[in-house]
């Protein structure tokens, strides 16, 4: 009996994320620079008085600016995860973070994660454009075949965001982690390279300035 095999792949290793800015209409992303970004980030994360934004992350909240800066230095200056600070042109300040991680150059796979939007970045055009810019860079510049999203299976907001952005649900890895003394079952999502061309058109249509009112309210929702 002849065993089935996957299709043949001619693939070169992907490029690794670089220090280059990712620039959009409404925001831009810069690799983390503690001196430049930390004060804005801590100030804007602190707008969440109930610390809800830290609930499903394996670190935080931070009681002081110094402890936050120490964490940035110890965790956010590596090649994997590779962190960006998100700058909102509307607010003229850095108000969120996101990273690439689990980077596997030989297989062309990369994950987006450690997404933390301060209250002024949540549910905004800049937040959506951030994800578009990272996705575009992952496929078109770095050359990945697969783009992943993973989250706590109890994090309904993150699961909704993944599906809104076009990620396809792949399943749940049970008891994958223990974070902050609690079990985490992890929901897995992905987008692959052959889907990107169609997705890109829909993102570009959504992000047109004509799709937003003067008060920055969307006229048509993102549909992928």
Instruction: Decide if 134 contacts 163 (C-beta within 8 A).
Output: no
Is the pLDDT reported for residue 111 higher than 90?
yes
**94 — pLDDT class (breaks 50, 70, 90):** very high
Q: Is this model's pTM higher than 0.85 or not? A: yes
In the chain, pLDDT over 90 holds for what percent of residues? 95
Distance between CA atoms of residues 164 and 219, nearest Å: 16
pLDDT of residue 41: 98
11 token code pair: 């693939």
pLDDT of residue 12: 85
pLDDT of residue 149: 98
For residue range 174-193, what is the model confidence (pLDDT) as tens digits?
999 999 999 999 999 999 99
| Residue of 142, 12, 172 whose CA lies nearest to 80 | 142
Is the pLDDT reported for residue 10 higher than 90?
no
Domain regions of the chain by residue span: 22-211
Mean pLDDT of 37-43: 98
pLDDT of residue 215: 83
Is the pLDDT reported for residue 172 higher than 90?
yes
Q: Tell me the pLDDT of the chain averaged across its residues.
A: 97
For 22-211, CATH number out of 3.40.630.30, 3.30.465.10, 3.30.9.10, 3.20.20.70 equals: 3.40.630.30
pLDDT of residue 216: 82
pLDDT of residue 116: 98
Backbone angles phi, psi at 24, to 5 degrees: -120, -170
For residue range 192-201, what is the model confidence (pLDDT) as tens digits?
999 999 999 9
Is the pLDDT reported for residue 36 higher than 90?
yes
pLDDT of residue 217: 87
pLDDT of residue 206: 98
Query: H/E/C letters for each residue in the chain?
Result: CCCCCCCCCCCCCCCCCCCCCEECCCEEEEECCHHHHHHHHHHHHCCCCCCHHHCCCCCCCCCCHHHHHHHHHHHCCCCCCEEEEEEECCCCEEEEEEEEEEEECCCCEEEEEEEEECCCCCCCHHHHHHHHHHHHHHHHHCCCCEEEEEEECCCHHHHHHHHHCCCEEEEEEEEEEEECCEEEEEEEEEEEHHHHHHHHHHHHHHHCHHHECCCCCECCCCCC
Mean pLDDT of 65-89: 98
């Amino acid at each position: 009996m002849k065993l089935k095999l996957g299709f043949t792949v001619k693939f070169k290793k992907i490029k690794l994320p670089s220090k280059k800015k990712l620039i959009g209409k409404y925001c831009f992303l810069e690799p983390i620079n503690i001196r430049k970004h930390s004060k804005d980030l801590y100030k804007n994360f602190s707008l969440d008085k109930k610390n809800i934004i830290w609930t499903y992350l394996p670190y935080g909240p931070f009681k002081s600016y110094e402890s936050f800066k120490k964490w940035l230095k110890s965790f956010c200056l590596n090649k994997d995860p590779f962190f960006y600070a998100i700058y909102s042109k509307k607010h003229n300040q850095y108000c969120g973070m996101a990273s690439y991680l689990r980077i596997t150059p030989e297989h062309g796979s990369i994950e987006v994660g450690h997404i933390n939007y301060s209250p002024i970045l949540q549910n905004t055009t800049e937040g959506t454009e951030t994800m578009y810019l990272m996705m575009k860079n992952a496929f078109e510049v770095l050359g990945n075949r697969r783009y992943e999203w993973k989250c706590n299976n109890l994090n309904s907001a993150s699961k909704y965001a993944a599906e809104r952005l076009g990620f396809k649900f792949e399943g749940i890895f049970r008891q994958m982690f223990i974070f902050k003394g609690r079990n985490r079952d992890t929901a897995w999502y992905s987008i692959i390279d052959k889907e990107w061309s169609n997705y890109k058109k829909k993102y570009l249509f959504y992000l047109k300035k004509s799709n937003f009112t003067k008060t920055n309210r969307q006229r048509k929702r993102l549909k992928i």
